[in-house]
Amino acid sequence: MARVVAVCGMPGSGKGEFADVVQSHGIPVLSMGDMVRAEVTRLELDESPGIFGEIAAQLRAKHGEDVLAVRLADAVDALLETNEVVLIEGMRGTAERTVFKHRWGERFYSLAVIASADVRFQRIQSRGRSEDGNRAAFEIRDTRERGWGLEDIMAEADFMLDNNVDLNTFIESANTWHFEFTK
């Protein structure tokens, strides 16, 4: 039975690192953040720290809180035709979880990546993405994503991985999760 796992976590928690580990085992990954990045590119906007959150908020305001999940669901279904597991990286709100849970029912799982604010900010500063900024921008982003229900879906996740650890330890945890989930 093909299954869908959506990864959630605060900005800089390690969702992308987790997705990289799972993808290295042949599991396809679709990124909700990539959908927002594509929209910024389509609109030919300059990539600044606030623009990605602004566009995500505008999409939600115009098309509903579940817009990204609705747009992504058909692509996930297409991958489920030939894959036993599909990973969605970057679920951020209760509306998205509702779409996924309704669409895939008992075949849908969520995983939260947990890391402290200080650890996450240090990581964000070192990764060099255009959407990352200073501490004030980081806190604005955290507040915006909390407003979408991110903390709620993290608290209710089927699985949790602690990422207040070094990269190698986290990769080992992600590999262990993968092997347990797919056996």
**Residue 172: closest CA among 64, 8, 14, 65:** 14
> In CATH, what number does 3-182 get?
3.40.50.300
pLDDT band at 2 (very low <50, low <70, confident <90, very high): very high
**Residue 55: closest CA among 131, 136, 124:** 131
Residue 106's pLDDT is 97
Mean per-residue pLDDT, 84-91: 97
Sign of CA pseudo-dihedral 110, 146, 23, 177 = negative
Biggest CA–CA distance in the chain, Å, is 44
Residue 78's pLDDT is 97
| Strand arrangement, sheet containing 29-31 | 29-31, 85-91, 3-8, 108-114, 159-162
Residue 130's pLDDT is 62
Distance CA 6, CA 89 (A): 6
Q: What does the DSSP assignment read for 41-109?
A: HHTT----TTHHHHHHHHHHHHH-TTHHHHHHHHHHHHHHTT-SEEEEEEE-SHHHHHHHHHHHGGGEE
Q: What does the DSSP assignment read for 121-151?
A: HHHHHHH--TT---HHHHHHHHHHHHHTTHH
Q: What is the DSSP letter of 165?
A: S
Residue 51's pLDDT is 86
Residue 23's pLDDT is 97
Distance CA 181, CA 183 (A): 6
pLDDT tens-place string over residues 31-45: 998 898 888 999 999
pLDDT tens-place string over residues 48-78: 767 888 898 899 999 999 999 999 999 999 9
The yes-or-no verdict on residue 79 having pLDDT over 90 is yes
pTM: 0.92
- Average pLDDT of the chain, as a whole number: 93
Strands 3-8 and 29-31: unpaired
Residue 133's pLDDT is 76
**Residue 110: closest CA among 132, 93, 124:** 93
pLDDT tens-place string over residues 90-142: 999 999 999 999 999 999 999 999 999 999 999 988 877 766 678 888 898 89
Mean per-residue pLDDT, 146-154: 94
